[in-house]
Structure 1
Amino acid sequence: MFEWFMSLELWVQALLGGIFTWFVTALGAALVFFFKNISKNVLGMMYGVAAGVMVAASFWSLLAPGIQIAEEQGNIAWLVVAIGFSLGGLFLFAADKVIPHMHFGKKNVKEGITTKMRRSILLVFSITLHNIPEGLAIGVAFGAIGATTGSIEAATIAAMVLALGIGIQNFPEGAAVSIPLSQEKMGKKKAFMWGQASALVEPLFAVLGAILVTSMTVILPYALAFAAGAMIYVVVEELIPEAQENATSGTHFAVFGFMLGFVIMMILDVALG
């Protein structure tokens, strides 16, 4: 099975990785059929886990390989990753200002261009927007396989581990979208459909990321750092505030959720990647 997967084109591998993370999001969104509501503390912990996974993945799966590849290319590694990382954050900042959306738990504050879209759709747009970096990260990781100077098998496993880690954090994220939507007088089926749809951008941007870095390998370290910067932007701007706001019994649930997610991703990357 692994040999068959390695025989596929890199963009196809990235597509399958993105489809996997979307599928796990759909599984999480399906919890809306079994739970009428979700504890604020549990929701805070879910956001914390997602944040921890993304922070760990940003370093071990993206920044560290980006530094190594930049050095192999004879570039100033710290400058390359600093530029890519900063551009990733600026990209999400610009998208926040342009794409209409609304964050959960932020007193219905709308961001982006003015629109008359319903609140439920704006909430989904918020999660969709912040799934873009995850798709890019998967695509860039699989695209990097073609530029590796080491073991192709190890590079493939590392990319698969990243997809697995993002999938793990997508499960609670799917539930964190669908269940609150169902509480806003939206039917469970509709809430599920919007919940899973929020991750449909991941396969798309995974393919785009893979094609981009395989066609222009010189930008690979920049792209890895770009994806890391975009993911960290999401963590600080969205996930951590939501985790702390939803943890009604103090912030301990959010903190321990973050630590759990970080440890899980760290183990996956170090032990398997």
Structure 2
Amino acid sequence: MIIDWLKDFNPVVQALFATLFTWGLTALGASLVFLFKSINRKVLNGMLGFAAGVMIAASFWSLLAPAIEMAEQTNTPGWIPAAVGFLAGGAFLFSVDRILPHLHLSQPIEKAEGIKTSWQRSILLVLAITLHNIPEGLAVGVAFGAVAADIPSASLAGAVALAIGIGIQNFPEGAAVSIPLRREGFSRFKSFMYGQMSGIVEPIAGVIGAFAVISMKPILPYALSFAAGAMIFVVVEELIPESQQDSNTDIATIGAMIGFVIMMVLDVALG
């Protein structure tokens, strides 16, 4: 069983394996470009809604709830690290969002955000997805670091469940990058390469997150809440608005509910 196999490794290595898995599912989703040249807007909305649902559920079940429980075990009011870390995570993504040049799906190049640049539309699209893969990788890394810190409310099974949930929602994200690039005239191979590259930041963020909480155990509740705040910022600022752009709002909403339930079940059943 995967959990028994992971027990033999250092938590940082565990986080690396887990985030390589999530990156791999991003690449697998991006590989759909070899089969399809375009993606139906309804399908895309459902994918984006699904990703949003997974991230919302993971933010509470896998990150905020354990953070509150950990804080209370040290006689600290649970809401303090939860609130401080959550807002700090949102502030971090807000700052990166203002600085890093990127372009949301279906937006004209004139609406690119961040520092003005002459970069091509394709690069800006990839950077938009890369931006919200940072908190995903960080969340997985922090979860594995929490297990190493010997926190009763943290379990290896729960960290694995989070990695599985993030990986599942990375699959449609990879397709959501590569297929639109193909439609814009890129070769299938180049579209695939750009799509999978959007997930390369997850192993980096995962290793950093795991190492940080192992080295500085007192920050763990704050780190978990930080990752939750960063993910919610992405959901509210990008995924939900993008999925609600046209008349297919019900499909996106249903996708979000399905994603939420799947992540909740994974965390409760395995964690």
Normalising by structure 1, we get a TM-score of 0.96
Deviation at 1:4, TM superposition (A): 3.0
Structure 2 SS opposite 1:21: helix
Task: Work out the CA distance in 2 between the residues paired with 1:3 and 1:22.
Answer: 22
Query: Residue by residue, what CA displacement relative to the aligned partner does 1:10-64 show, whole Å, maximum 9, x if unpaired?
Result: 0000000100000000000000000111110000000000000000000000000
Deviation at 1:77, TM superposition (A): 1.2
Structure 1 SS opposite 2:244: helix
Deviation at 1:270, TM superposition (A): 1.1
Q: RMSD over aligned Cα, in angstroms?
A: 1.2
Structure 2 SS opposite 1:60: helix
Task: Work out the CA distance in 2 between the residues paired with 1:220 and 1:142.
Answer: 11
Aligned-pair identity (%):
60
AA matched with 1:88? G
Per the alignment, residue 262 of structure 1 pairs with 260
Task: Work out the CA distance in 2 between the residues paired with 1:190 and 1:92.
Answer: 28
Query: Residue by residue, what CA displacement relative to the aligned partner does 1:222-245 show, whole Å, maximum 9, x if unpaired?
Result: 000000000000000010011111
Q: Structure 1: which 4+ aligned runs deviate by more than 4 Å? A: none
Task: Work out the CA distance in 1 between the residues paired with 2:140 and 2:152.
Answer: 19
- Map 1:186-201 → 2, pairs under 5 A: 186-201=186-201
More divergent stretch after superposition (154-163 vs 188-197): 154-163
Per the alignment, residue 125 of structure 2 pairs with 123
Per the alignment, residue 35 of structure 2 pairs with 34
Deviation at 1:148, TM superposition (A): 3.0
Structure 1 SS opposite 2:20: helix
More divergent stretch after superposition (191-200 vs 101-110): 101-110
Query: Residue by residue, what CA displacement relative to the aligned partner does 1:69-125 show, whole Å, maximum 9, x if unpaired?
Result: 111122121011100000000000000111111111233311111211111101101
Deviation at 1:5, TM superposition (A): 1.1
Query: Residue by residue, what CA displacement relative to the aligned partner does 1:161-212 show, whole Å, maximum 9, x if unpaired?
Result: 0000000000001000000011111111000000000000000110000000
Per the alignment, residue 79 of structure 2 pairs with 78
* Contact kept in structure 1, 2:141 and 2:208, CA below 8 Å: yes
Runs of 5+ in structure 1 lacking a partner?
A: none
Per the alignment, residue 145 of structure 1 pairs with 147
- Map 1:241-252 → 2, pairs under 5 A: 241-245=241-245, 248-252=246-250
* Contact kept in structure 2, 1:41 and 1:249, CA below 8 Å: no
More divergent stretch after superposition (48-57 vs 249-258): 249-258
Per the alignment, residue 69 of structure 2 pairs with 68
Per the alignment, residue 104 of structure 2 pairs with 103
Runs of 5+ in structure 2 lacking a partner?
A: none
* Contact kept in structure 1, 2:45 and 2:248, CA below 8 Å: no
More divergent stretch after superposition (224-233 vs 94-103): 94-103
